[in-house]
């Protein structure tokens, strides 16, 4: 039996059409048709793929004298069958993440906004002349309350989005299969959303770059402590808005990458234990603790207007930490 006949026989036993086999092999239906018509021969990597799909040896496929298919026993065969995602589940998941995107973006923005009131009010309280005099202790109390309230709202939003998406956690942790038509549907939506995604990333990048302009302007024109602090508050506000666009677009686009197992959600990446999430939580809790101790601790300066530099340095170091984690993971 020649290779063409074996492909036809195995495909029909699996209950697949030429289009379904073509989708699994990432080729066109015409290519499969030519293989089955003995008009062309598949590349070796496609032969290997077919041997895995059909559960036979490559020798059976390539050697005409072998008439009986001998099933291969691999490590994958000992594993439980992969979960299969239906087109309905895929559509529901995409709709869920599209709804969650503004909530996730808002929660992230609120976390960045949270220290603004504390830093700004501390600077206002130290003005020698003020239209609205505010004592330093009162300013610190109001600022801390604002910080905790904004963080609490953000946590509620994060938890709400996380709980609603709990049944789909396997998409980013486990390998899975998709029913016929799912990949095509997701790719169409991904293609349609790509211009919007790129637009959001552009806006976010521009805002983050421009956020430093007020600070540099104050440093160049008037190096006054109050105006420097206000410039930092404005910087955090603009960065927060920029990050809103990053998270909004990234949440929607990321949901499509999860279903297609692309980007950071390939099976290779899933097989590695993700430590980014826990590291991020520990990192920012530590930064907050350092800020509070340095500002309000026994030996603290009691002036958030001077301690803001901790957040700026932490932001730069956070990017370096994430880059380091990715570099280490890529070397494994």
- Residue ending a domain, choose from 261, 295, 320: 261
User: Is residue 184 in a domain?
Assistant: yes
Nearest 5°: phi and psi at 178?
-120, 145
Q: Is the same domain home to 115 and 234? A: yes
Q: Is the same domain home to 90 and 230? A: yes
Taking only the tens place, the pLDDT of each residue in 125-144 is 766 545 556 676 777 788 88
Give CA–CA dist 74/58, Å, rounded.
13
Give CA–CA dist 28/18, Å, rounded.
9
Taking only the tens place, the pLDDT of each residue in 58-113 is 888 888 777 776 555 555 545 567 788 888 999 999 999 999 999 999 998 998 89
User: Is residue 267 in a domain?
Assistant: no
pLDDT of residue 216: 85
Q: Which domain holds residue 48?
A: 3-78
Give CA–CA dist 63/71, Å, rounded.
15
Angle, helix 18-25 to helix 3-14, in steps of 10 degrees = 100
- Residue ending a domain, choose from 235, 261, 287: 261
pLDDT of residue 256: 93
DSSP code at position 211: T
Taking only the tens place, the pLDDT of each residue in 180-227 is 888 889 999 999 999 999 999 999 999 988 988 888 888 888 767 778
- 58: domain CATH number is 1.10.260.40
pLDDT of residue 177: 85
Q: Is the same domain home to 252 and 281? A: no
- Whether 114 has a pLDDT exceeding 90, the answer reads no
DSSP code at position 302: S
2: Cβ contacts below 8 Å, ≥ 6 apart: 38, 64
pTM of the model: 0.64
| 119 vs 327 pLDDT, higher one | 119
User: Is residue 235 in a domain?
Assistant: yes
Q: How many domains does the chain have?
A: 3
Give CA–CA dist 218/307, Å, rounded.
18
pLDDT of residue 185: 92
Taking only the tens place, the pLDDT of each residue in 32-59 is 999 888 888 888 888 888 888 888 888 8
Q: Is the same domain home to 241 and 167? A: yes
């Amino acid at each position: 039996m020649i290779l063409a006949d074996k492909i036809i026989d195995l495909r029909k036993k699996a209950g697949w059409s030429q289009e379904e086999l073509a989708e699994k092999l990432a080729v066109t239906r015409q290519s499969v048709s030519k293989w089955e018509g003995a008009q062309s021969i598949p590349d070796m990597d496609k032969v290997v793929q077919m041997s895995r799909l059909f559960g036979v040896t490559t020798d059976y496929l390539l050697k005409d004298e072998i008439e009986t298919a001998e099933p291969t026993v691999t490590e994958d065969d000992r594993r439980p069958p992969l979960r299969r995602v239906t087109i309905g589940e895929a559509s529901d998941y995409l709709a869920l993440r599209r709804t969650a995107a503004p909530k996730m973006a808002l929660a992230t923005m609120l976390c960045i906004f949270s220290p603004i009131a504390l830093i700004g009010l501390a600077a206002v309280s130290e003005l020698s002349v003020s239209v609205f005099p505010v004592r330093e202790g009162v300013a610190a109390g109001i600022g801390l309350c604002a910080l905790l309230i904004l963080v609490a709202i953000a946590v509620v939003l994060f938890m709400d989005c996380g709980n609603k998406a709990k049944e789909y956690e396997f998409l980013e942790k486990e390998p899975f299969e998709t029913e016929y038509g799912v990949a095509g549907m997701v790719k169409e939506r991904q293609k349609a959303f790509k211009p919007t995604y790129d637009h959001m990333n552009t806006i976010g990048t521009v805002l983050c770059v421009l956020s430093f302009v007020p600070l540099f302007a104050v440093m160049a024109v008037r190096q006054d402590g109050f105006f420097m602090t206000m410039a930092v508050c404005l910087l955090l506000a603009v960065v927060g808005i920029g990050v809103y666009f990053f998270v909004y677009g990234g949440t929607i686009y990321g949901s499509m990458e999860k279903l297609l197992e692309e980007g950071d959600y390939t099976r290779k990446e899933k097989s590695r234990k993700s430590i980014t999430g826990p590291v991020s939580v520990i990192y920012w809790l530590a930064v907050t603790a350092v800020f509070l101790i340095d500002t309000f601790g026994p030996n603290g300066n009691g002036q958030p207007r001077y301690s803001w530099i901790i957040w700026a340095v932490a932001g730069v170091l956070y990017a370096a930490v994430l880059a380091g984690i990715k570099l280490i993971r890529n070397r494994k």
